Chains A and B, each alone.
Chain A
Amino acid sequence: MTWVTFSALLGHWRRNPLQLFTLLAGLALATALWSGVQAINAEARASYDAAAATLGEGQFDRLTRRDGQPINQATYVKLRRNGWLVSPVIEGRLDGVRIVGIDPLTAPGRLAPTAMTGASSFADFIAGQIIAAPDVTLGGAILDPSVAPSTAIADIGTVQRLLDRRGEIDTLIMAPLQPQGQKPLSDLAPDLTRQVAQSGSDIGRLTDSFHLNLTAFGLLSFAVGIFIVHGAIGLAFEQRRGTVRTLRALGVPLRLVVVLMGAELMGLAVVAGAIGVGLGYVIAGALLPDVAATLRGLYGADIAGNLQLRPIWGLTGMGISVGGAAVAAGGALWKLSRMPLLAGAQPRALAVVARRGRKSQAIIAVGLLLIAGILAIVGGGVVTGFALLGALLLGAALGLPLILSVILSAASGRAKGVISGWFWADTRQQLPGLSLALMALLLAMAANIGVSTMVSSFRLTFVGFLDQRLTSELYVTTEGATQAAAFVAFAQTRVDAVLPILTAQVSVANFPTELFGNKDHATFRDNWKFLSAAPAPWDLVQQGGAILINEQLSRRAELTIGDTVQVGSTAFSIAGIYGDYGNPVGQAIIARETFQTLFPNIKALRFGLRLPPENVTQFVSELEQSVGVPEANTINQAGIKAFSLDVFDRTFTVTTALNVLTLAVAGFAILMSLLTLTAMRVPQLAPAWAMGLTRRNLGALELFRTVLLALFTAVIALPLGLALAWVLLAVVNVAAFGWRLPMYLFPADYARLGGFAILAASIAALWPALRLARTPPSDLLKVFSNER
């Protein structure tokens, strides 16, 4: 009997292949969206982990020379011989590839790449073997995915030899556990400074904040996905009430029906999940190169541009599909098991059922929005920010049917005429059946508005910032003091101004900081904008006792104007705080003369040049001929700006693609809900038809209704999306990046988005409306003959 029953249940799908398709496609799309976003995130994170593991970025304290020069190897041995457990690292570029030299014996933790674990491999490593990330082409290197992307690792001796830097070390990494009885560092190596490990690596913190964008999408796609899975399952049950009634009337035990339907759904969920994970892989594969390029361009964080199959997001994707189906089916099966034997086939009085749940839904919605409000006021870290996002979105989604219901009631009250009155009442009656799909649309739209606003605001701010900061028309890097001197002599008479770039790695308020010594020049005075500043900050800086710091340093170290900070042994008063978007570390500026007193050994090797833009090309070629500075060592400001804009365009590609996907998924949810309703609507529409409304009229009204509901939803989505953007920019961004982005509004974009949403809803509604318009009159008549 089991098999017969099962085949009877399955027979439903044979007769209605379209329903089978919508169920599978709904589940698969939701899974695809979720696992695609997860795949991108997982891939990128794995890349950072490899980077962090390779360099020990942020995990360990580090010693570097105060003046930024290489550490002598003898200093390393001296420190070891005095009980300092440090491990040497040297870094450089070889044939365009970043190569890192480590000592595998003293390196703390697991810095050594996996490929090194092997008896002969260890000996080979010491003897000169290079181990490289899979995306690196370097002759003779072993490829190993545990190495940070675009990086090669070799023994420190090997790298010293390859870079021709024998006896030199760039950084000493400190083991977390140090022995007793160490002599102070100031006695042993006074020229070294200790940089305390960050709680998360620089790269990690930074890229986390870019991932914010993606994580927000992941969260939203999860919510949208769950709504869709729920809708798809509900549909499958709703449409088979008749079959269930017949089976039970024939004597099939209820339990067996429930078990079989559950098993069948799980089977379908697994199939749909597998398809979805595959689709997600395709989505991620298509988007990842852009994500990689974005991150590399923005932060210099290398992530591999190709996708590797990682079990974690495949598993979570399957989990979404199967778990979502189980949760949705659980409710439906529970209802089924409590249904009277013959009542199974009666169309549900959806509105009646819904009214009961409405009150509790309203309470939950209001509660969630209250929580969101409290979190927004309290503020806090990234986690709070995401909790706020979650509460806001879920609260708004749950509140949507209530708001729509109020709107429809109002419209219904003002309706004049019979058809209009019927239309509004009928729309209200349909609302519960459509509300899940409308919630999905709301979330999709809000996500679009929120994320687009964030990215676009970022773009505007960043481009404006580039205009301020990259004022020199040309940037030149010289290869050494001799060439630098020759360059200055050559350039001085040919350009409007030569602005040397003096820089040193220092520690300000215990945060690693890049210190600049700026020449007093109108370039800075005219273009530099401050978030806050003392009067005439550049004059204060030139007088020698003042320093300018970036926003990141100010927020992390909680420094404000007038505070005093130490650079080495000199105290400076903070005269200005400037925006420094996209920079992971602290930055500070002092006067060039002051810088030279503090760091007499640092000579400028990089220069900014002011000259008419049209002369740049000519100057660069003369420079190469006269001083021997190759064109590769010059950066045209116009080029940087073009590159930065290109980076943003890539970000937009990713964002736009995800936007389109979420909208498409939401549109699909509408389609499915309408298909569910269409079948049940015939009895409700038959009287209207009998009273003279044509089928064509009915179809047109159906279409109009959907567009109207989508429009209302879009209008509600706008404030929600803006609230989302505000949370992303003002709460989560500050917690993650360390700076706050000004929020700009883009009404044209929102209008276009609204248009898209309505278009998606219309397309979704078109087919059900057509079907309705083409319902054979005999079907409509049957309603009356069947009704007893």
Chain B
Amino acid sequence: MNAKLICLLIWLPLTSIAQGFAGLGDSAEGFNIPTPNPIFNFPADAGAHPDYKIEWWYITANLQDAQGTDYGLQWTLFRSALAPQDGDDWSAPQLWMGHAAVTTPTAHFVTERLGRGGIGQAGVTTDPFSAWIDEWTFSDRELIANGPDFGFDIRFGDLGPIVFHGENGYSVKSETGQASYYYSKPFMDMNGTLALPEGDITVTGQAWFDREWSSQPLGNDQTGWDWFSLSFDDGAKLMGFQLRGNSTYTSATWIDPDGTTTALENGAFQARPLKTVTVAGRDVPTSWQVTLPVKSVDVTVQAINDNAWMATSVPYWEGPIRIRGSHTGRGYLEMTGY
């Protein structure tokens, strides 16, 4: 899910904060870089990797209330290192950023947090697992975030299997070889409460948790990114992304209901915009034709709410979608660089 990496590297420089995140420009000097055939070590790898430049804990979820109304939920913790080291006071060069959002068919709530590593304001522990910034928390049991006008308090049920993308978690992002470590937990059951201006809403659904870390920027020509996580009603799932540049680079992972994965090469997964809407002054395609011929997938995806714009210091579009066509279901769409 390199979308976030792109969005950070491309959009962060627009703000002062952002420049902090992109502090080291385009070089990964001094940082470790992902190498093929990784061997993951849990629970350590669920935690932070300060010797990598950028990392995130990213949850998106499709939820429904008792009436069947669709909701989308996002909770993300980004880590960005100014230097490949850690520390236990203000001098730690680790910066943290949290994004939280709730999308309803008619509204979209967003909020953001920033914080410093080293002093305890934000971080990740592994045993037991807990990721936090301020009062926002993500652990194996709960997921909490609050903004000025909304909040959520979620409990997890069955967490489901871990799946690895690309070559056993080594996910290539371009033809020139940039890559990240990337694994997911796409089957996390959850239920809880959304605190919205109109009142508390009890919801249930399934979350998709992405973990990714890297130190490498993308190719100079790559301007943006479209990322899809599709949960079909038959239990199968599909993660696919395309990087827009001089040529489009795509990658995808087919996930069977039992968590068995099939990695798909560049070009196997295709996404074509169908309809563009103007959101926050930008033209953003909120409806797509998505095809994966090897799995006979030919679907259209449509945003549940076109206005799912993340007006954060790194602006991008992220929101829940409905899937129709050869397969039906729900999912999440993220678009950067528009």
Contact = CB atoms under 8 A, between A and B. Distances in A.
A73 B111 contact: no
Contact of B147 (A103, A112, A160, A179): A179
A180 B91 CA distance: 31
Interface string B49-60: 000000000000
A105 B23 contact: no
A126 interface: yes
A530 interface: no
B135 A122 contact: no
B330 interface: no
Interface string A62-100: 000000000001001100111101000000000000000
A77 B96 CA distance: 14
Given A81-B135, A112-B16, A122 B23 contact: yes
Contacts of A156: 90
B135 A83 contact: yes
A117 B19 contact: yes
Interface in A93-132: 103-106, 112, 116-123, 126-127
Contacts of B19: 117-119, 121-122
25 contacts: A76-B119, A77-B119, A80-B134, A81-B121, A83-B135, A103-B116, A112-B16, A118-B19, A119-B22, A119-B24, A119-B25, A120-B23, A120-B25, A121-B19, A122-B17, A123-B83, A126-B91, A156-B90, A177-B148, A178-B148, A179-B148, A179-B151, A180-B150, A181-B135, A181-B151
Nearest to B15: A117
Interface in B67-113: 82-83, 89-91, 93, 95, 111
Nearest to B23: A123
Given A179-B151, A180-B146, A180-B151, A82 B135 contact: yes
A122 B93 CA distance: 11
A79 B140 CA distance: 24
Contact of B16 (A122, A127, A155, A181): A122
Nearest to A122: B20
A126 B93 contact: yes
A582 interface: no
Contact of B90 (A81, A83, A119, A155): A155
Interface string B155-172: 000000000000000000
A179 B91 contact: no
Interface string B1-23: 00000000000010011011011
B114 A127 contact: no
A305 B118 CA distance: 41
The 8 closest A-B pairs by CB, nearest first: A157-B90, A179-B146, A122-B20, A117-B16, A83-B135, A119-B19, A123-B23, A105-B114
A166 interface: yes
Contacts of B20: 104-105, 119, 122-123, 126
Contacts of B17: 104-105, 122
Contacts of B24: 119, 123
Nearest to A120: B23
A106 B119 contact: no
Nearest to B147: A179
Contacts of A122: 16-17, 19-20, 23
B314 to A, nearest CB: 14
Given A81-B134, A82-B135, A105 B151 contact: no
Interface in A168-209: 177-181
A229 B93 CA distance: 62
B312 to A, nearest CB: 14
Nearest to A125: B20
A602 B17 CA distance: 40
B337 interface: no
Contacts of B134: 80-81, 83, 85
Contacts of B151: 179-181
Contacts of A104: 16-17, 20
A80 B146 contact: no
Given A77-B119, A105-B116, A122-B19, 18 more contacts: A73-B119, A80-B134, A81-B134, A105-B17, A105-B20, A105-B95, A106-B115, A106-B116, A117-B16, A118-B19, A119-B19, A123-B93, A126-B93, A127-B91, A166-B89, A177-B148, A179-B151, A180-B195
A89 to B, nearest CB: 13
Nearest to A183: B135
A496 B89 CA distance: 50
Nearest to B24: A123
Contacts of A116: 16
B80 to A, nearest CB: 11
Interface of B: 13, 16-17, 19-20, 22-25, 82-83, 89-91, 93, 95, 111, 114-116, 119-121, 132, 134-135, 146-151, 195
Contacts of B82: 123, 126-127
Contact of A160 (B90, B115, B149): B90
A179 B133 CA distance: 13
Contact of A83 (B115, B119, B146, B150): B146
Contacts, number: 96
A81 B146 CA distance: 12
Contacts of A180: 146-151, 195
B23 A81 contact: no
A166 B19 CA distance: 27
B279 to A, nearest CB: 22
A148 B120 CA distance: 31
Given A73-B119, A122-B23, A127 B93 contact: yes
Contacts of A112: 16
A127 B92 CA distance: 9
A521 to B, nearest CB: 46
Nearest to B113: A85
**Chain B CB within 10 A, most for which of A83, A126, A178:** A126
A169 B248 CA distance: 51
**Chain A CB within 10 A, most for which of B95, B134, B146:** B134
A82 B19 CA distance: 28
A422 B148 CA distance: 82
Contacts of B195: 180-181
A121 B148 CA distance: 31
A118 B13 CA distance: 8
A118 B132 CA distance: 28
A85 B135 CA distance: 10
Interface in A129-165: 155-158, 160
Interface in A574-599: none
B13 A106 contact: no
A67 B135 CA distance: 27
A266 B272 CA distance: 62
Contacts of A82: 135
A117 B313 CA distance: 14
Nearest to B17: A105
Nearest to A121: B19
Contacts of A80: 115, 121, 134-135
A77 B114 contact: no
Nearest to B137: A81
B88 to A, nearest CB: 11
Contacts of B120: 77, 81
Contacts of B23: 119-120, 122-123
Contacts of B150: 180
Nearest to A78: B120
A81 B120 CA distance: 9
A82 B146 CA distance: 11
Nearest to B153: A181
Contacts of B147: 179-180
Contact of B114 (A106, A126, A155): A106
Nearest to A101: B90
A164 B93 CA distance: 20
Contact of A119 (B13, B111, B115, B146): B13
A411 B116 CA distance: 84
Contacts of B91: 126-127, 157
A123 B132 CA distance: 23
A120 B116 CA distance: 17
A155 B23 CA distance: 16
